[in-house]
């Protein structure tokens, strides 16, 4: 039984199973679990059986692999079996299944559907991992090494699930691995030789046990402490953004909270933050029958405080077929068209889902969903990768929208009317300037949009200014909204926020919507990328409901203002630039279809951003190279520190030596150290003569080298043991000869270690450190002594 090493094998199997556990977050449903457990069990049992029969690790591993193939054949290859054995046919079948699995993994974001190919793939991969773990942990008796394949398997799950894994997965995997380590450590301890410990009392056997217990206790403490630290530490330390050595490689947009796999839009919008380099990673693709595209909304934010938008708690009931109702305020007279949108390959994480507004019906392929009761934002309880919605495109007439402005009065304002108090004076001034006296709601909204979009001289930029210069020429850093309104630089979030605040100031309820621009078209399919993330204001109009406005100018993003938000045929006399705004809006309106064509993108801005990024990249590369160079220089200098210390130590000691005999002794010690660094270490109790014989034997010295060694030994014996006054000759050339001869027969590794990491050098550094510590301690000690003396005096005086 002991040859089979049953407990170790079972532990190794358990470890393989536990690291496969987090794969449950990657695939759904979990039908792959049982076949995979069967494969692991077969690996464990085959391993135990094979170990009882043979000691060859090759045979054990081969039998385990054969076991995996057999189990996989029985599970997945029915119809390709010949008396229970796999046939050549089977290879083809497996190949097809695995290709299937690959396609699934490539096409689906986690959790991907589990099909037979996936089950087979997981089973084979985990089976091979189990064989490797079994080999390392049981055959090689080094479970620490087995941690590497285990960690690899674990990290595959952890890095692909797109979100932070539940700590229990890590605790389980780490725990089993530590168990393996502990088991191996204890059994190694028990296999130690039975040399009796040095003790004069009769408690030897019990002390033996104490040793084992102590070892185990320390091990347990360390293991628990390590696990707890590993789980607790990430909670305490802040999560740093991902850093890349060279910019431009696999970078994802951090502003919108995208990760490589799945995507979720951040529902808090920090106005002070510049948008990073947005990713071109596709978010979703869709087809639609609508002639005019609308942005896809993901969320709505109402509360603005402390310079950022904060989400409300969701109030949704998820069902397969929610009872959709049009907004109650929507008047039947409003002209409308019903369109349909079919989304594929959406990577937006639950509960978010991208949808146009307002929704009429939806088919989410079995995923439960619903509309928020407060904001009527659609959300899902599980990530839906393909779905379709029908929605209304409203085109309210000017008459419908033309309702009188309501003043912002009363202390108890609804949140949709609350203006950020910090920026309110500036917003009020601005509204007074921009919105004509006695303008209707829609006129006010149009004026604000026009002001922000074209008339106000705002510039679209992903990089926000930090400060703004006031009228006295001093730079100030006011709140973000004021900063934006004064510096006139920002991106969609700032534009939208400004419009929301100005609309609220004008008495129009307004809120912030976040989502995606319509994206780019390719043969009828539109692809929305992460860089299409967008924010826009929604203003409330009686009889219509929440209407989208578009204050963000058409910069790098092709933002299109909805037709109802544009000024009617007659230009507004109060806003001289409204003509331009109107024409530009019209022109952008006409560009709607072209805007979705990638070729229609403004060539100057593209090249500009390209040249920007390339120069940035170049600078970054140069910085990196500089750092690498500096690190290299520091590394070389650092690696010289120890050998140089060794040399200076030897030179100093030789200089300080009072006589030739001491010098010979120092040379001898240095030689012994250097030969020890080379891996030639004579037994502890060796006399010089025995050490010499040992060196000669170990390093195969001959001829002149033996003579040199003999002269060295003779010199040492004389210097140490001969009567004073005996002439001792310098042995330095001889020690060099011996060291050279010995290092000639050692391995390169030993030679390198002896050259770069000499123990004499380490000793020198330790002494230097101690000297420094002593110097630092001396004043403290002196002070302590003086205090003790004073106290003693005081006591003496009292007595």
Partner 1 sequence: MQGGYEDQGGGPHGSMGGSAGNQLGTGGRQGAGSSPATGPESLLSFPAGSPASLSQVTEVAGRLARAMNSVIEGKPDVVHTAITVLLAEGHLLLEDVPGVGKTMLAKTLAKTIDCSVRRVQFTPDLLPSDITGVSVFNQDVRDFEFRPGAIFANVVVGDEINRASPKTQSALLESMEEGQVTVDGQTYDLPKPFIVMATQNPIEMEGTYPLPEAQRDRFMARISLGYPSSRAEVAMLDSHGQVSPLETLSPVTDAATITAMVKAVRSVFTSDAIKQYVVDLSSATRSSSALRLGASPRATLHMLRAARAHAALEGRDHVLPDDVQAIVVHVLAHRVIPTGETQLARRSTAEVLQDLMRRVPVPAAGR
Closest distance of CB 156 from partner 1, Å: 52
Burial of 771 (0-12, 13-18, 19+ CB in 10 A): exposed
DSSP 113: E
Using the rule CB under 8 A, is 685 a contact of partner 1?
yes
Structure tokens at 67: 């076991």
Q: Which stretch binds partner 1 (CB under 8 A): 368-376, 436-444, 512-520, 664-672?
A: 664-672
The SS3 call for residue 756 is helix
Q: Based on CB atoms, which residue is closest to partner 1, 211 or 415?
A: 211
Q: Which stretch binds partner 1 (CB under 8 A): 243-251, 370-378, 476-484, 657-665?
A: 657-665
Nearest to 311 by CA among 512, 88, 148: 512
Using the rule CB under 8 A, is 200 a contact of partner 1?
yes
Using the rule CB under 8 A, is 421 a contact of partner 1?
no
Among 395, 601, 669, 759, binds partner 1 (CB under 8 A): 669
Among 220, 320, 689, 791, binds partner 1 (CB under 8 A): 689
Q: Which stretch binds partner 1 (CB under 8 A): 53-61, 280-288, 425-433, 721-729?
A: 721-729
Using the rule CB under 8 A, is 243 a contact of partner 1?
no
457: CB partners within 8 A, 6+ apart = 488
Using the rule CB under 8 A, is 358 a contact of partner 1?
no
End-to-end CA distance of the chain: 77
d(CA 307, CA 271): 6
Token pair 């001829």 is found at 703
Q: Which stretch binds partner 1 (CB under 8 A): 197-205, 207-215, 250-258, 359-367?
A: 197-205
Using the rule CB under 8 A, is 684 a contact of partner 1?
yes
Residue 56 parent element (H or E): none
Closest distance of CB 200 from partner 1, Å: 6
Among 54, 196, 333, 707, binds partner 1 (CB under 8 A): 196
What sign does the dihedral 201-202-204-210 (CA atoms) show?
negative
Among 719, 738, 741, 764, binds partner 1 (CB under 8 A): 719
Using the rule CB under 8 A, is 723 a contact of partner 1?
yes
Closest distance of CB 693 from partner 1, Å: 10
Q: Which stretch binds partner 1 (CB under 8 A): 154-162, 217-225, 473-481, 716-724?
A: 716-724
Burial 748-763 (b: 16+ CB within 10 A, else e): eebbebbbeebebbee
Closest distance of CB 714 from partner 1, Å: 11
CA atoms within 13 A on the CB side of 36: 28
Using the rule CB under 8 A, is 683 a contact of partner 1?
yes
Bridge partners, residue 522, by sequence = 525
Q: Which stretch binds partner 1 (CB under 8 A): 192-200, 338-346, 745-753, 758-766?
A: 192-200
Among 381, 686, 706, 759, binds partner 1 (CB under 8 A): 686
Among 197, 241, 457, 796, binds partner 1 (CB under 8 A): 197
Among 721, 767, 769, 781, binds partner 1 (CB under 8 A): 721
Q: Based on CB atoms, which residue is closest to partner 1, 574 or 706?
A: 706
Q: At CA 331, angle to CA 330 and CA 334, rounded to 5?
A: 100
Q: Based on CB atoms, which residue is closest to partner 1, 196 or 475?
A: 196
Closest distance of CB 204 from partner 1, Å: 9
> What would the x/- binding string for partner 1 be over residues 471 to 510, using CB under 8 A?
----------------------------------------
Length of the chain: 799
d(CA 572, CA 577): 9
CA atoms within 13 A on the CB side of 595: 24
Q: Which stretch binds partner 1 (CB under 8 A): 15-23, 722-730, 754-762, 784-792?
A: 722-730
Interface with partner 1: number of residues (CB under 8 A)? 25
User: Contact 153/22 with Cβ under 8 angstroms?
Assistant: no
Q: Which stretch binds partner 1 (CB under 8 A): 40-48, 302-310, 610-618, 687-695?
A: 687-695
Residue 285 parent element (H or E): strand 282-288
Q: Compute the CA torsion angle 13, 14, 16, 22 (nearest 10 deg).
A: 160
Closest distance of CB 713 from partner 1, Å: 10
Q: Based on CB atoms, which residue is closest to partner 1, 106 or 195?
A: 195
Burial 19-53 (b: 16+ CB within 10 A, else e): bbbbbbbbbeeeebbebbbbbbbbbbbbbbbbbee
Closest distance of CB 689 from partner 1, Å: 5
Using the rule CB under 8 A, is 759 a contact of partner 1?
no
> What would the x/- binding string for partner 1 be over residues 166 to 185, using CB under 8 A?
--------------------
Using the rule CB under 8 A, is 236 a contact of partner 1?
no
Q: Which stretch binds partner 1 (CB under 8 A): 110-118, 153-161, 264-272, 682-690?
A: 682-690
Enumerate residues 547-566 that contact partner 1 by CB under 8 A: none
d(CA 77, CA 444): 70
Closest distance of CB 194 from partner 1, Å: 10
**Cα–Cα distances in Å, from 628 out to 242, 248, 395, 773?**
20, 18, 60, 33
Nearest to 135 by CA among 359, 275, 143: 143
Q: Based on CB atoms, which residue is closest to partner 1, 603 or 658?
A: 658
Question: Pairing state of beta strands 303-305 and 308-310?
Answer: antiparallel
DSSP letter for each residue of 219-232: HHHHHHHHHHHHHH
Among 221, 459, 690, 730, binds partner 1 (CB under 8 A): 690
Q: Based on CB atoms, which residue is closest to partner 1, 207 or 702?
A: 207
- Rg for the chain (alpha carbons), in Å? 39
Among 142, 556, 613, 662, binds partner 1 (CB under 8 A): 662
A 10 A CB-CB count for 651 gives 10
Using the rule CB under 8 A, is 199 a contact of partner 1?
yes
Q: Based on CB atoms, which residue is closest to partner 1, 684 or 798?
A: 684
Q: At CA 337, angle to CA 336 and CA 341, rounded to 5?
A: 135
Closest distance of CB 658 from partner 1, Å: 9
Q: Based on CB atoms, which residue is closest to partner 1, 574 or 687?
A: 687
Using the rule CB under 8 A, is 720 a contact of partner 1?
yes
Q: Based on CB atoms, which residue is closest to partner 1, 201 or 570?
A: 201
Q: How many Å separate Cα 526 from the centre of its chain? A: 30
**Sequence-separated contacts (24+) of 753-757 with Cβ below 8 Å:** 753/677, 754/674, 754/677, 754/678, 755/643, 756/639, 756/642, 756/643, 757/642, 757/677
Write out the residues near partner 1 by the rule CB under 8 A. Answer: 196-200, 661-662, 665, 668-669, 683-690, 717, 719-723, 726
């Amino acid at each position: 039984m002991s040859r089979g090493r049953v407990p170790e094998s079972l532990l190794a199997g358990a470890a393989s199973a536990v690291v496969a556990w987090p794969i449950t977050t990657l695939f759904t449903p979990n039908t792959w679990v049982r076949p995979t457990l069967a494969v692991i069990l077969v690996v464990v049992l085959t391993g135990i059986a094979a170990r009882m029969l043979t000691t060859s690790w090759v045979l054990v591993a081969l039998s385990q692999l054969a076991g995996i193939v057999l189990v996989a054949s029985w599970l997945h290859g029915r119809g390709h079996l010949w008396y229970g054995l796999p046939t050549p046919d089977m290879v083809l079948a497996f190949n097809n299944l695995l290709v299937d699995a690959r396609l699934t993994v490539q096409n689906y974001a986690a959790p991907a559907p589990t099909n037979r190919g996936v089950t087979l793939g997981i089973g084979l991969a985990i089976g091979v991992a189990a064989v490797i773990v079994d080999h390392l942990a049981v055959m090689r008796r080094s479970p620490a090494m087995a941690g590497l394949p285990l960690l690899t398997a674990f990290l595959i799950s952890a890095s692909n699930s797109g979100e932070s894994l539940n700590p229990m997965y890590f605790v389980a995997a780490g725990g089993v691995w530590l168990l393996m380590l502990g088991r191996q450590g204890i059994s190694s301890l028990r296999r130690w030789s039975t040399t009796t410990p040095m003790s004069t009392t009769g408690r030897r056997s019990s002390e033996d046990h104490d040793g084992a217990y102590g070892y185990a206790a320390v091990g347990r403490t360390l293991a628990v402490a390590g696990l707890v630290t590993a789980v607790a530490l990430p909670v305490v330390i802040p999560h740093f953004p991902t850093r890349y050595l060279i910019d431009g490689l696999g970078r994802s947009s951090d502003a919108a909270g995208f990760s490589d796999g799945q995507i979720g839009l951040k529902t808090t919008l920090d106005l002070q933050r510049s948008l990073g380099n947005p990713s071109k990673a596709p978010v979703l693709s869709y087809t639609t029958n609508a002639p005019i595209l609308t942005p896809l909304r993901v969320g709505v934010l109402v509360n603005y405080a402390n310079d950022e938008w904060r989400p409300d708690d969701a109030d949704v009931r998820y069902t397969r077929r929610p009872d959709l109702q049009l907004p109650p305020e929507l008047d039947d007279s409003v002209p409308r068209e019903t369109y349909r949108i079919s989304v594929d390959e959406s990577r937006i994480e639950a509960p978010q889902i991208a949808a146009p507004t307002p929704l009429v019906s939806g088919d989410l392929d079995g995923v439960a969903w619903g509309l928020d009761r407060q904001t009527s934002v659609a959300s899902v309880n599980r990530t839906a990768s393909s779905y379709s919605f029908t929605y209304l495109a409203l085109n309210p007439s000017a008459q419908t929208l033309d309702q009188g402005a309501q003043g912002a009065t009363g202390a108890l304002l609804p949140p949709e009317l609350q203006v950020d108090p910090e920026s309110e004076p500036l917003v009020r001034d601005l509204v007074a300037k921009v919105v004509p006296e006695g303008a209707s709601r829609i006129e006010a909204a149009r004026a604000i949009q026009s002001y922000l979009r074209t008339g106000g001289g705002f510039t679209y930029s992903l990089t926000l200014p930090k400060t703004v210069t006031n009228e006295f020429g001093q730079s100030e850093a006011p709140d973000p909204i004021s900063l934006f309104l004064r510096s006139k630089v920002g991106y969609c979030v700032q534009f939208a926020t400004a419009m929301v605040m100005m609309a609220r100031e004008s008495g129009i309820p307004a809120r912030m919507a976040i989502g995606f621009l319509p994206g780019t078209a390719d043969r009828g399919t539109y692809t929305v990328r992460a860089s299409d993330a967008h924010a826009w204001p929604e203003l409330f109009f009686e009889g219509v409901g929440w209407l989208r406005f578009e204050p963000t100018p058409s910069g790098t993003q092709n933002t299109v203002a909805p037709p109802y938000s544009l000024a009617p045929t007659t230009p507004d006399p109060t806003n001289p630039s409204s003509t331009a705004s109107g024409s530009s809006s019209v022109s952008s309106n006409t560009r709607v279809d072209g805007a979705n064509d990638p070729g229609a993108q403004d060539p100057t801005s593209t090249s500009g951003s390209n040249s920007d990024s390339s120069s940035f990249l170049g600078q970054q590369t140069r910085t990196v190279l500089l750092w690498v160079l500096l690190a290299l220089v520091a590394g070389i200098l650092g690696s010289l520190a120890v050998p140089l210390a060794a040399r200076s130590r030897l030179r100093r000691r030789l200089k300080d030596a009072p006589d030739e005999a001491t010098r010979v002794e120092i040379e001898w010690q240095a030689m012994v150290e250097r030969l020890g660094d080379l891996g030639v270490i004579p037994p502890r109790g060796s006399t010089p003569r025995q050490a010499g014989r040992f060196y000669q034997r170990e390093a195969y010295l001959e001829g002149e080298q033996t003579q040199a060694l003999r002269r060295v030994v003779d010199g040492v014996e004389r210097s140490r043991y001969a009567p004073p006054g005996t002439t001792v000759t310098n042995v330095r050339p001889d020690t060099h000869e011996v060291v050279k001869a010995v290092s000639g027969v050692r391995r390169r590794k030993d030679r390198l270690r002896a050259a770069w990491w000499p123990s004499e050098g380490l000793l020198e550094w330790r002494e230097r450190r101690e000297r420094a510590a002593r110097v630092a301690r001396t004043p403290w000690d002196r002070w302590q002594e003086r205090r003790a003396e004073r106290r003693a005096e005081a006591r003496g005086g009292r007595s």
